[in-house]
Every structure is written in C-alpha cells, then in structure tokens.
Amino acid sequence: MYLYKRFLSKDINLLNFNPAKQHRRLPVVYSREEIKAILAHLQGVHHLQVALMYGSGLRSAELLSLRVKDIDFGSNNIFVRGGKGNKDRTTMLPQGLISSLKHQIGRVALLHQQDLLDGYGRVYLPDALERKYPRAASELGWQYFFPAHAIGRCPRSGVLRRHHMHPTTLTRQIRTAVRKADINKPARAHAFRHSFATHLLEAGYDLRTIQELLGHADISTTEIYTHVVNRGGKGVLSPMDQMQPPHGIAETVAIYGVAA
C-alpha cells in the first residue's frame, strides 16, 4: 500500500485484488508443571527474566527494554514503555519476585557505579529525552534493568555505552532449559506470555482485564486464549470420563491385555 500511495500515486482502493487470508494458529502454552520444570533449570538473572515474563505477561523485547524506574514497588506495577505499537501500559508486579527484583536493582547500581568510574554510565535515551533531560542518561533510574555484560558501541551514535542484554542470550537459555526439562513443546520466550494469559483465564479472570494486562488493542486477539484453556473440548465432559474408572490389576489386564 505504501508503495502505491507514495511512489506510484495510485489509490489502493481502485486496485482489484483480494488480500491473502491470514491463518491464526493456536499459541504455544506451557502448563504450570512445565513452567516449574523450566524454572528449575534456570539460575540467576535468567531465572528472574523467565519468571517475570510468566508472572507479568511481558514480551521478551519489553522485558529487556525495562529500566530501573519502570519497576514500581509502591503501586505494585510494572510500567511498559513503548510496547508493541509504541503504546505504554502497566501490568502486575508479582509479589513473589519482589526480593529478587530488589536484588537485581542492587546489582545494576553497583555495575552502573563502576561504569561511571570508568568514564561511561550514560545509557541510551529514546526520542529527544537526552536533550530535554541532559543528566537523566547517567541516573540509575534510567539504566536498563537487565544490562549487557559488556560495554558496546551504540549503532545510532557510535558512542560506547552499556545497552540491555541481547535477546539471543535469553533465547539460548530458554532453549536449554526446555530441553533439560524434557518438554516436547517449542522453546519460545513468547510462550511464557501465552501461558500467563491462559492461566489467568483458567483462574476465572475476565477477558477485558487480561486484554489490558497484555496491551492488546483488540479483544479478538485476546480471545484466542479461550481455545487453549484447560477445559478439554470447550468445557464439554467427555463420555469416556463419565464412565466409572476401572480399579485394580484385573481391570487393567482386561482393558489392555497386559500386566500393569
């Protein structure tokens, strides 16, 4: 559409074509037991990252873009700045992670202090904030919550500074943990966000609340999780489950023809 309007000066409405149909696929969702198994194979900051994605419904890009000031212990909120569609929103702060989150802030503070001593410590600021608030870039509140291990050159300005952790580092840790947990599902960071929404729906929370926590513009996007909630065939009880379950070895042998 942009090509036709901007360069060819043609109205897209005058073109006779049918857009390709987009197929909606069911999301990958981990059960609560699988979440526990994955977390058991993660340590340190990567354990906290996965727990935060599952506990708050964050996308991996939103997680890595968090700044220290975005964690608000007073209101129990996490502020997501410039999420998908460049929209801001708030989501819940898991109470069970407060101690780990405060410990991470302490680690960031020590690292930032050392960066300042080494002549660095000025983080990248979005838009025109660096011109508007010239001192903000060196303040602790603006530092990335999950900083990279090393100083790197900024691709925008060429300035040497500490960016946030690279997404491939998190992806690699998740892949390894899912494999060690012996889970036969795709290892995806986004699956923890899907699991967050699905488990909230199973717990009885309404779609509108979940939509706001996820930051979906259209509730039809959130409705996809109604197809994967743990209710078996849309809540219908299978006729097999209405039968009296067999008890004892004799019944097992009679059904399967083998010893239990």
The catalytic position among 46, 59, 122, 164 is 59
The catalytic position among 84, 89, 161, 188 is 84
Distances (CA, A) of 75 to 1, 26, 40, 70: 43, 34, 29, 11
Active site residue 2: no
Active site residue 25: no
Active site residue 193: yes
Active site residue 164: no
The catalytic position among 41, 162, 193, 194 is 193
Structure tokens at 188: 């995806």
The catalytic position among 47, 69, 163, 190 is 190
Q: Which residue has the tokens 């999950």?
A: 146
Q: How far apart are CA 142 and CA 69, in angstroms?
A: 6
Q: How far apart are CA 229 and CA 203, in angstroms?
A: 10
Active site residue 216: yes
Active site residue 32: no
Task: Report whether 218 contacts 87 (CB < 8 A).
Answer: no
The catalytic position among 41, 122, 194, 216 is 216
Q: Which of 73, 49, 64 is nearest to 143 (CA)?
A: 64
- Active-site positions? 59, 84, 190, 193, 216, 225
